[in-house]
Amino acid sequence: MITVEEARALLFDLVSPLPGETVPLSDAAGRVLSQDVEATRDQPPFAASSMDGYAVKSTEVELHAMFKVIGESAAGKRFQGSVGPGQAVRIFTGAPIPEGADFVVIQEDTERRGDLITISDLPGPKTNIRPAGVDFTVGTKISAPRRLRAEDVALMAAMNIAAVPVSRKPVIALISTGDELVMPGDVPGPDQIIASNTFGLKALLEEAGAHVRVLPIAQDTVSSLRTAFELGEGADLVVTIGGASVGDYDLVSDVSAGLGMEQSFYKIRMRPGKPLMAGRLGQAAMVGLPGNPVSAMVCGYLFLLPMVRQMLGVEQVLTPFQTARLTEPLDKNGPREHYMRATLDETGIRACRDQDSSLLSVLAQANALLVRPPHDPALLAGDKVQYLPI
C-alpha cells in the first residue's frame, strides 16, 4: 500500500493542464484565467470628482470666499468651458474636473444664493479629485493563472475586457455502481438506498471548476458497468463510486482492466478510503473510489480536487494543512493515516464521536478533517494537530 502523498504524485501523472478557451465576461466567474489580460484604458479616463460640490481653483479656497457658478459638470456630461478666477462649476461624483479647476469644495461646506456660492466651512487639504488612471492604466495586468472571483470580473469589466481566456473545464464522468442504488427522487425498493455521495462529489467538483456528468447508475453486472464506462467516453476523468473492494459484486477492477485500464495503483494506507484505485483509461484518467459515502467524499477532497486543479492549471493544487489545538483528547492512531471528521470553532478542534465511514450526517456537521499521521500517539486536550478545512 502507498501513502496519500505517493498516491497524489501518481494521480498528478495521470492528468495535465487542459487547453484554454475564450468565454464572455459574464461567464468568467469561477473560471481559471489561462493568459494574462491587460487593461485597454485608464480608469478613471479623466480626473474626476469624488464628491458632489463645486470645482474651483485651490488657491482661492478660503473661508467666506465667494464664487460665481458658471455651469455644471455631471457624470457622463462634462462642462465644456474653463474655470477662471472667482468662478465655480457645479460638479457631481464621477464627473470630469473642468479645465482651470483643481479643487472640489463639497456641497456641505458651501452656501448658495442664486448663482453665487460662499465657502461657509473651511475645507481641509483633500482636493476630492480622483486623478486620471488612479485605479488602473492602459496595460495594467491581471496575471494568469488565477481563479476569477466576483471582484476580478468587476475589474475586467472596468478594463473593458469583454472576452476572457480561461482554461477549459475538466469534464468528469461520475459512475455510481450498485444494485442497491436509486437516484434521488426515485422510489427505492425495500432493500435499496439513494445514491448520495455521487451528488456530493458532483457539488464538490463543480464548485472546484469541473463540469460533471452524472451517468446512469451501473448495476453490479459486467455488462451494465461496461455500458457505463462507454457512456463516460470523452471525459477527462472517469470516476467510479463503489465496487472497488474485493467482494463478489466488486467488478470495477475487472471491468476496467478488460477495457484496457493501465492501473497506476490500488489501495492507499489511509482511513477512510483505503480501496482506491487509479490508472489510465485511453485518453482519460480513471479513479475508482470506495463506495462508503464518507470515504468517497474524503477521497474527493484529498485526491479529486487536486486533480481538477491540476487540469485547470492553477498554481496551488494542494490545500495546505492548518494547525489547531484539541479541545478533547484523542486515542492513539493505528498504522494508517486517518482523516477524522472534526468540528472546529474559536475554542479549538475536536473529532466527531462516531467515525464510521457510512455516516453522512456526521460529515455534514463536520467542518474539518483532522489529520492523524500513522502511529500518532494518544493526544491530550491542548495538543496541536493538523487539519484540512472542508
Q: What does the binding site for ligand AMP look like in residue numbers (CB under 6 A)?
A: 176, 178, 180-181, 193, 195-198, 241-245, 247, 290-293
Nearest CB to ligand AMP, comparing residues 292 and 333: 292
Q: Under rule CB under 5 A, how many of the chain's residues touch Mg ion?
A: 3
Closest separation between CB of residue 300 and ligand AMP, Å? Answer: 12
Nearest CB to ligand AMP, comparing residues 209 and 242: 242
Contact status, residue 264 vs residue 294, Cβ threshold 8 Å: no
Stretch that binds Mg ion, among 104-112, 151-159, 174-182, 224-232 (CB under 5 A): 174-182
Nearest CB to Mg ion, comparing residues 55 and 225: 225
Closest separation between CB of residue 220 and ligand AMP, Å? Answer: 8
Tell me if 98 contacts Mg ion by CB under 5 A: no
Closest separation between CB of residue 360 and ligand AMP, Å? Answer: 8
Q: Binding partner of residue 293 among ligand AMP, Mg ion, none, CB under 5 to 8 Å per kind?
A: ligand AMP
Contact status, residue 300 vs residue 208, Cβ threshold 8 Å: no
Nearest CB to ligand AMP, comparing residues 34 and 198: 198
Residue entry with cell 474655470: 83
The whole-angstrom separation of Cα 133 and Cα 46 is 7
Closest separation between CB of residue 145 and ligand AMP, Å? Answer: 32
Q: Please tell me whether residue 181 adopts helix, strand or coil conformation.
A: strand
Assigned C-alpha cell, 238: 472517469
DSSP β-ladder status, 337-345 and 270-271: parallel
Instruction: Choose, by CB under 5 A, the member of 123, 209, 242, 279 that binds Mg ion.
Output: 242
Closest separation between CB of residue 291 and Mg ion, Å? Answer: 5
Q: Binding partner of residue 42 among Mg ion, ligand AMP, none, CB under 5 to 8 Å per kind?
A: none
Q: Report in angstroms the alpha-carbon separations of 284 from 162, 172, 229, 280.
A: 33, 9, 11, 6
- Cβ neighbours for 182, distance < 8 A, ≥ 6 positions apart: 188, 189, 192, 193, 194, 195, 217
Closest separation between CB of residue 304 and Mg ion, Å? Answer: 19
Nearest CB to Mg ion, comparing residues 253 and 310: 253
115: amino acid identity, one letter: D
Instruction: Choose, by CB under 5 A, the member of 123, 165, 243, 288 that binds Mg ion.
Output: 243
Assigned C-alpha cell, 169: 473545464
Closest separation between CB of residue 295 and ligand AMP, Å? Answer: 8
Nearest CB to Mg ion, comparing residues 165 and 242: 242
Q: Which of 172, 171, 173, 180 is nearest to 292 (CA)?
A: 180
Omega of the bond leading into 216 within 30 degrees of 0 (cis):
no
Nearest CB to Mg ion, comparing residues 53 and 178: 178
Contact status, residue 386 vs residue 342, Cβ threshold 8 Å: no
Q: Which residues of 48-67 are buried (b: 16+ CB within 10 A; e: fewer)?
A: bbbbbbbbbbeebbeeebeb
Closest separation between CB of residue 160 and ligand AMP, Å? Answer: 46
Q: What DSSP state is assigned to residue 60?
A: G
Closest separation between CB of residue 177 and ligand AMP, Å? Answer: 6
Tell me if 178 contacts Mg ion by CB under 5 A: yes
Tell me if 170 contacts Mg ion by CB under 5 A: no
Q: Binding partner of residue 245 among Mg ion, ligand AMP, none, CB under 5 to 8 Å per kind?
A: ligand AMP
Q: Binding partner of residue 253 among Mg ion, ligand AMP, none, CB under 5 to 8 Å per kind?
A: none
Radius of gyration in angstroms for the set of CA atoms belonging to the chain, rounded to a whole number: 31
Greatest C-alpha distance within the chain: 95
Contact status, residue 163 vs residue 23, Cβ threshold 8 Å: yes
Q: Binding partner of residue 294 among ligand AMP, Mg ion, none, CB under 5 to 8 Å per kind?
A: none
Nearest CB to Mg ion, comparing residues 165 and 275: 275
Q: Please tell me whether residue 141 adopts helix, strand or coil conformation.
A: strand
Q: Give the number of other CB atoms < 10 A from CB of residue 29.
A: 16
Q: Which of 321, 314, 318, 316 is nearest to 342 (CA)?
A: 321
Nearest CB to ligand AMP, comparing residues 89 and 299: 299
Contact residues toward Mg ion (CB under 5 A) are 178, 242-243
